[in-house]
């Protein structure tokens, strides 16, 4: 990994963690409001939290992109595909 790729990855990780922090803060406020308003036994996870559900799905997709399908994964797939061909390409 060269410097530019590392710098971009750090930038992407920083954005992801900021987004995750804001998600946590907003979630705490929404659930705290529900608990104060309705009580702990009448708490519903789906009542008024469709935005949190969508935001959570977006965060999951970003996490998969950052931590699973990263540059190392891409290089491994390229190597495997190159081994399948008769004449390997040298990079």
Residue 44: per-residue pLDDT: 62
Residue 34: per-residue pLDDT: 74
Separation between Cα atoms, residue 64 and residue 43, nearest integer Å: 30
pLDDT digits (tens, 9 = 90+) for 38-86: 776 665 656 657 788 888 899 999 999 888 887 777 778 888 877 776 5
pLDDT at 26 exceeding the cut of 60: yes
Cα R_g (the chain), whole angstroms: 21
Residues 6 or more apart whose CB falls under 8 angstroms from that of 88 comprise: 82
Separation between Cα atoms, residue 52 and residue 20, nearest integer Å: 11
Per the model's pLDDT, the better-predicted residue between 26 and 73 turns out to be: 26
Separation between Cα atoms, residue 76 and residue 73, nearest integer Å: 5
Residue 85: per-residue pLDDT: 67
Indicate whether this model's pTM tops 0.95: no
**Band of pLDDT at residue 14, cut at 50, 70 and 90:** very high
């Amino acid at each position: 990994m060269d410097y530019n790729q590392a710098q971009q990855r750090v930038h992407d990780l920083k954005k992801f963690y900021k987004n995750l922090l804001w998600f946590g803060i907003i979630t705490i406020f929404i659930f705290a409001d529900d608990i104060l308003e309705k009580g702990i036994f009448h708490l519903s996870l789906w009542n008024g939290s469709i935005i949190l559900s969508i935001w959570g799905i977006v965060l999951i997709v970003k996490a998969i992109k950052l931590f699973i399908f990263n540059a190392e994964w891409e290089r491994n797939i390229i190597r495997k595909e190159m081994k399948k061909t008769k004449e390997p390409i040298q990079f």
